[in-house]
Amino acid sequence: PGGARGRRVAAVAAPAQEPDAAEMISVVGIGAPKVDLGDTSTLTMRIDGQWYDVSGWAKAHPGGAMFIKLMNGRDATSVFYALHSNGANGADEAVRRLAKLPKCDPPAAERQFLPDAETARACKDFAEFREKLEKDGWFERVWWQEAQILVRTLALYVGGQLAANAGHPVLAACLLGVGMEQAGWLAHDYVHGRGKWCTAMRNFGALTNGFSGEWWSYKHNMHHSFTNVDGCDDDIMSEPFLYLQSPKETGRPDPNPLRRFQHIYGYPLYSVTFLMWRLDSVIFAWNRKDKGELAALALQYIWLFGCLPLPVAISSVLLGGFLCGSIVSATHQSEEIMTDRGEYVDMQFRSTRDAACGPWWETMLWGGMDVQLEHHLFPTMPRYKLHKLRPLLQAWAEGQDTLEYRISSTTDIIKQNFKLLYRVGQA
C-alpha cells in the first residue's frame, strides 16, 4: 500500500535464509498474519548514530523481547526518545540503561534495514525539532492542570454514584459512562507519562476502569511503535468481527457471513470495547501474579457490583466502551495500512490524521485523540499541551518534502470510517 510512500526502508533486501534461520511469529494473536523477523541469532539496533548489540538485553527489556526483535537492524532513535524516559520528560532511566548497553560495529549490509536518504533527512530534522521542544519545557507537567483533569474525571464518578443512590439510573449510567471514558483517557496519559507523578498514578486505570496498566502499556506501545503495520498493530486486527482490509486483498480467512453488514453493526459493536479490555486485563494481571494490580482490579469490581445497581454498572461500562472505542481508532483505521516496518516518524505521518473538534464538550469527549499525530510523535508530552503544539507541528511539517500533515473535521473522519467499513464489507 501507499506506492513509493509505502517503501521507505532502504533497498537492502534480506538475504535468502535457511528455513530454521528465520523466525516467523504472530505478534498480535491467533489468526493475524505472521511477521518475518529474519535471523534473530544476533540483535542490533542504531540509536543516535551508534550501533548496539541488544541480544542480551532483549529478554530484560521492560517492554518485552518482541520490540527488540522487531527493531533488529533498524534505526530506533525516534521511537526510543518518543516512548522512553529520556531525561526531558521527568525521568532518565532509559538513557542510563542505554549508556550501559554494549556498542558494536554496524551489522552486514544485508542485515541493515535503514530509512532512505529523504526519510533520514526528515528524521534528523525531527530530532532537532524535538530537542528544541525539550529545551523549551514542553514535556514538563503543570500541577494545577494535572489536578484539573483528575478532579473533573472523578467528579463524574461521584455524580454518577449520587444519581444511582437517588434512584436515577439513566442519569447515573450517563455520568458514569462518560466518566469511565474520561478515566480511560487519563489512565492512558499516566501510562505514557514519565516521572514520579505518573508512576504513582499507574494503577489509576485499574482502580477506575479495571484496566491493567502493564497490559495496556505493552499493547499500546506496540501500537505506537508500529502504527497501522499489518501483523504488528493489534488496533487494526479486529477480524473476523470488523475488517479494515478485504480478505481478497490479504488472503486471510473470511469466516464471517455478516461481513457485508459491518457498516451497520460496526459502531454498536464498539460498546464491548471496555468489556474486552477488562477481561484481557484480568488475565494478564493473573498470569503475571501482580498482587498490587490484582488488588486494584479487585477494588474496582467491588465498587462496580457492590455499590451500583447491576443495570447501571453494565450500561455505564457499555457506554464508556462505545465512546472510547468509536474514537480511539477513528484517526487511524481509514488511513494507510502498511506491510513494512518503516521509520517511526514517517509511519506516524502516513497512518495518522488529526481531528478538528468543534465545541468544548466535543474536545473533552475526544480526550486528546483529536491531536492524535502530536500525541503519537510525542506520547510522553502532557495531553493539555498538545493543542498548543499543533500549529508548530503543522509549520514544521510544511518544510518537509516527504511528510504530509492531515487534518479533517470529526464528522468527516467518522464518515470516512463508515465508508471504509461499507467498502470492505462489500468487497
One-character DSSP codes across 332-363:
TTTS--BSS---HHHHHHHH--EEE--SHHHH
Of 401, 387, 36, the closest CA to residue 229 belongs to 36
Distances (CA, A) of 91 to 87, 195, 257, 332: 5, 5, 50, 29
Whole-number pLDDT of residue 38 = 85
Let me know: does 234 contact 31? Beta carbons within 8 Å: no
Alpha carbon of 216 to those of 212, 280, 375: distances in Å? 6, 9, 16
Residue of 109, 111, 121, 118 lying closest to 41 (CA atoms) = 111
User: Which of 189-222 are b and which e, b meaning 16 or more Cβ less than 10 Å from the residue's Cβ?
Assistant: bbbbbbeeebeebbbbbbbbbbbbbbbbbbbbbb
Across the range 138-161, mean pLDDT stands at: 98
User: 105 and 46 in contact (C-beta within 8 Å)?
Assistant: no
Query: Which string of DSSP letters, residue by residue, matches 352-418?
Result: --EEE--SHHHHHHHTTGGGHHHHHHSTTS-GGGHHHHHHHHHHHHHT-SS----EEEHHHHHHHHH
Residue whose C-alpha cell is 464498539? 270
Q: Tell me, what amino acid is at 308?
A: L
Contact 107, 55 (CB under 8 A): no
How far apart (Å, rounded) are the C-alpha atoms in residues 209 and 11? Answer: 46
Pick from 378, 381, 384: which is nearest to 364 by CA?
Answer: 384
Give me the chain's average pLDDT, please: 91
How is residue 39 written as a grid cell?
Answer: 535471523
- How far apart (Å, rounded) are the C-alpha atoms in residues 270 and 386? 26
Residues 374, 386 contacting (CB under 8 angstroms): yes
Peptide bond into 359 cis (omega under 30): no
Cβ-contact 82, 344 below 8 angstroms: yes
Instruction: Flag the least confident range among 230-244, 288-302, 373-387, 412-426.
Output: 230-244
**How confident is the model over 273-297, as pLDDT tens digits?**
999 999 999 999 999 999 999 999 9
Bridge-based pairing state of the strands 44-47 and 50-53 = antiparallel
* Mean pLDDT to the nearest integer, 184-194: 96
5, HSE (Cβ side, Cα atoms, 13 Å): 17
CB 30 within 8 A of CB 239: no
Give dist(CA 157, CA 175) in Å, integer: 7
* Local structure of residue 228 (DSSP, 8 states): T
pLDDT band at 29 (very low <50, low <70, confident <90, very high): low
Q: What is the per-residue pLDDT for 23?
A: 54
Q: Are 328 and 321 in contact (CB under 8 A)?
A: no
Confidence of residue 4 (pLDDT cuts 50, 70, 90): very low
Distance from chain centroid for Cα 123: 20
Q: Quote the DSSP letter at residue 39.
A: E
**pLDDT greater than 90 at residue 91:** yes
With contact defined as beta carbons under 8 Å apart, do 421 and 242 qualify? Answer: yes
Angle between helices 143-165 and 310-328 (to 10 degrees): 140
Mean pLDDT of 220-246: 91
- Cell numbers at 306, concatenated: 457492590
Cell, residue 218: 505493552
Question: Does the global pTM surpass 0.95?
Answer: no
Asked whether the predicted pLDDT for residue 20 surpasses 50, the reply is no
- Assigned C-alpha cell, 215: 497490559
Average pLDDT of 9-38? 50
Task: At 220, give phi and psi (nearest 5°).
Answer: -75, -35
Distance between CA 96 and CA 357 in Å, rounded?
A: 40
